[in-house]
Structure 1
Amino acid sequence: MAPERETPYGLSAWAAAVLVFGSSAAVLVVELVALRLLAPHYGLTLETNTLVIGLALTAIAAGTWAGGWTADRVAPRPLLGPLLGISGAAVALTPAVVRGAAATGSPGLLLLAATLSILVPGVLLSAVTPVVIKLRLTSLAETGTVVGHLSGIGTVGAIVGTVVTGFVLVSRVPVSGILVGLGVLLLVASVLVQVAGRRGRGDAVLALVVALAGVGAAAAPSGCDVETTYHCLAVSVDPERSAGRVLVLDGLRHSYVDLEDPTHLEFAYVQAMATVIDTAFLVGEPLDGYHLGAGGLTLPRWLSEVRPGSTSRVSEIDAGVVEADLRLLGGELPPGVEVSVEDGRLAIDDLEAGSLDLVVGDAFGGISVPWHLATREALEGLEASLGEDGVYVANVIDHDPYDFARAYVRTAGEVFDEVALLAAPDVLAGRDGGNMVVVASREPVDLEVVEEELAARGTDWGSLAGAELAAWADGAPVLTDDFAPVDQLLTPYGR
């Protein structure tokens, strides 16, 4: 067998394939991890995905063009080491830079940091492929073979980077660890390329940058105790209540749990839900319930305590949230509570018709909403699962002009006979945003009693129903599986 031929620049076919494969994979790792890094600040929404994918494609296009143009004008071999080493330093610095920008509270600085964290390594890594192609070309007769072969290898690398990151790395390694680790690998590759090319200069400066980036990533405040599959999750202690714990998801206070008193309901929207339940059903009567979203399991714990014999089936898509709940509750779920790690929309299809007294929807966050749980088809499945006296209560978070909340209310009105909206007076008047509770059923719930009971709890909430609510939601679109622009309708922080 003849020895493998090298180009005049000393780059073998195997070395070329490894460089193209690895750099292409690295671009996709950076893209996917950037989504995780930005989700606590922008939400895991269609718009965030569009922004990150658009920036990544821009980086690939710019890097490919710039790499090819440069390789035609200067000696290409010396370009490889710096491209890999500088991109490694940039990738390793990303967690500290992005989180540091977020800590300043400046939206513009955060957007700039997020943009550069994708563009800089993306451009440099994408320039590797045209440089390698230039090194492998020895005659015009083999142009198609070389370009096609290496382009195909680059695509395979991108696929592997996507699959390994999505199915393996994100579920096992923190975001900071992925990016700093990738930075180290790129730096090692840079050193090997420099040594193989007999380049005199070393990568000591870049190595120092990567090392400092690792320290910075570890020291930079991430706001997370755990980076789960879907959330940046933290649990904080209530300084005014020793047994109180707050579950924070993506920077927002999501649930409150009193470890010693399951009947303590801290958040106003949870009090509103509990008051609706107590108004719609006989006090103390056990209920069969289904919960979309686990949160801190606040309402399932409350039901188990105040209505002994109740059953609560909970669907939570994020296993990390379930693990946090189990840690909070000492590893044991309350009596009658069953939690499944699953997509709630799929679980809706398995609900037995007419089998439930209560459905609780608490899967909508303040900066992102699982759109497939907000559609008419999803609500039809929930409505069918309820008995004649069944009630659906859902937490919705929106701000002026409340486009998503109004669309959700109108959609619920297409499915349920009776729909009402509970919220603080400033929210109902359009002067403020925040939590709203949608109440849907076949028979009306006595809203006057609900308001009186909430006032007794010290919660000043009002309600809209009937023609008044219809006027409030008038003109909003009906959300369906075919048309649900939830990310565009939602106003996370007000205007």
Structure 2
Amino acid sequence: MNALFARIVVIVSGAAILVVETLSTRLVAPYVGLTLESTTAVIGVALAGIAAGASLGGRWSDVLPPRWVAAGALAVGGLGVLVVRPLIRLLGPALGPGPYAAVVLVAVSTLVSVTALAMVTPAVTRASLSSLDGSGAVIGRLSAAGTLGSLAGVFLTGFLLVSLLPVTAILLVTAASCLLLAAVTATVRAPATVVGVAVAAAVAGAVLVAVPGRCDVDTVYYCARIETDAGRPGTRILVLDDLRHSAVDLSDPTRLEFAYTQRFADAIDTVFPAGRPVDAVHIGGGGFTMPRWLAATRPGSTSTVLEVDAGVVDLARRELGAADIPGTTVQIGDARTALAGLQTASADLVVGDAFGARSVPWHLATTEFVADVNRVLRIDGVFVLNVIDRQPWRLLAAEVATVATRFPNVVLLVRPDQLGPGGGGNAVIVASDLPLDLAGLAARAAVRGEPGSVLGDDRTREFAGAAAVLTDDWAPVDQLRG
């Protein structure tokens, strides 16, 4: 086999494996969540497929013409790439969330394509060896080429392709490249085989495009869609992956649908006099619910929104009217680094409402991050943080303990029934350098229908107990969540 062509084949197959691996993380997220477990499932299944493919490719190349093996593997791999997304969309709703479901969903959808594509390198290597003389150099060159292809696949996908093309288009291009190389690699022209592969590719391509999914938009990080609330036609729900993230009443920006946003409002209205404008920083944009509420209830307020996903911002501007909120600016980028760039004592309010699946992203949950929140807040400022957890509430306890290392006054807003047997859901941590008005918070919660939902500083710290403080060195947020 020509040395240059051999390298091209190996590079393309290596790149295709990493394209599938990189995309599968986001493809399974609407069904199993974007967690450390789902990411681990993707990496683990890919490594298993690579190992199996390397073994099978080498073994079959000793019994069959290596070029045939390489061509067949490219064909099967290309067809497999075309059905990755349809399989996930068909099986995802049935499997549901959870770490084991993630492994099954990733394996069923990607293992065949990854295994087949991993067979290419040993087959091409075998085809390139005419004798043992110089075999080490050949093996080394092709191994390096495969690694180069893998690097190209992961960097091109993560840094460029996802921002430029829909996922469907990326998969189509990847599959087409593999199928084209399969046709060129094969030395025996078998019309029936060629026609069969072409028909299979056409059917798989049609299925890839036709099978419906849950997304209105594939953003860089999320499968995002807007739903209409059946009970309130004017209310729109932003769903990111499998989580109902934000609710916006297009006709009344002062109405807050979700209980956790109502708790945010209670804290803000208790700390700051009615109608007083505030300078707010929002960790996570979502549907821009709180910036809209602040602009409506406290005219003159400013909101700096730190949102990692430009696609979510575009969707909120297009469907939820986020572009029309007065005093609101958006910084696209990671909230941790963006917050570090804000001036000391420049904000009255920091709202923490960023999530990867149901957990606060780990680097936004540590004492180092909370210290930077405290730095940005003025002395009379307040930090409100949304946390999703359930019994035994290990994540919430750890987050309370973490926030308490940087703020002397910490209050927990959570209904008593949530803390009872089998309870769970959203809880809000309120933290400040100055004492908080517990009576005012309790009165507002009671009026809303959540009496007894305010835990004062002593009870909040008692709830945290001996929970470990989250740090940049140790923050297993996905594992702590109930």
Matched, 1:101 2:91: yes
- Which 10-residue stretch deviates more, 123-132 or 457-466? 457-466
Partner of 1:264: 255
Q: 1:207 to 1:432 in 2, by over 3 A?
A: farther
- Which 10-residue stretch deviates more, 427-436 or 101-110? 101-110
Matched, 1:60 2:50: yes
Deviations 1:444-480 (A, max 9, x none): 3223322322332344561223332222211211011
* Contact 1:394-1:439 within 8 A present in 2 as well: yes
Letter in 2 for 1:174: P
Partner of 1:7: none
Alignment of 1:180-199 (within 5 A): 180-194=172-186, 196-199=187-190
CA distance in 1, matches of 2:56, 2:17: 16
* Contact 2:235-2:248 within 8 A present in 1 as well: yes
Matched, 1:450 2:441: yes
Alignment of 1:334-353 (within 5 A): 334-353=325-344
* Contact 2:345-2:377 within 8 A present in 1 as well: yes
Alignment of 1:251-330 (within 5 A): 251-330=242-321
Partner of 1:418: 409
Deviations 1:297-325 (A, max 9, x none): 11111111111111111100110111011
- What displacement does 1:279 show? 0.9
Partner of 2:236: 245
- What displacement does 1:222 show? 1.7
Letter in 1 for 2:478: D
Letter in 2 for 1:160: A
Name the SS for the 2:430 alignment partner. Answer: strand
CA distance in 2, matches of 1:219, 1:199: 30
Pairwise CA RMSD: 1.9
CA distance in 2, matches of 1:260, 1:467: 40
Letter in 2 for 1:182: T
Deviations 1:110-150 (A, max 9, x none): 64342132321111111111111111111111111111111
Name the SS for the 2:467 alignment partner. Answer: coil
Deviations 1:235-286 (A, max 9, x none): 1112222321111111211101111211011111101100111111110111
Name the SS for the 2:323 alignment partner. Answer: coil
- Which 10-residue stretch deviates more, 357-366 or 135-144? 357-366
Partner of 1:383: 374
CA distance in 2, matches of 1:201, 1:369: 54
- What displacement does 1:217 show? 2.5
Letter in 1 for 2:15: A
Matched, 1:482 2:473: yes
Q: 1:461 to 1:28 in 2, by over 3 A?
A: farther
Alignment of 1:158-169 (within 5 A): 158-169=150-161
- What displacement does 1:400 show? 1.6
Give the alignment's TM-score, normalised by structure 2. Answer: 0.95
Letter in 2 for 1:235: I
Partner of 1:23: 13
* Contact 1:136-1:146 within 8 A present in 2 as well: yes
* Contact 1:364-1:395 within 8 A present in 2 as well: no
Letter in 1 for 2:290: L
Name the SS for the 1:332 alignment partner. Answer: helix
CA distance in 1, matches of 2:230, 2:264: 25
* Contact 1:71-1:134 within 8 A present in 2 as well: yes
- What displacement does 1:331 show? 6.7
Give the alignment's TM-score, normalised by structure 1. Answer: 0.92
Partner of 1:179: 171
Letter in 1 for 2:122: P
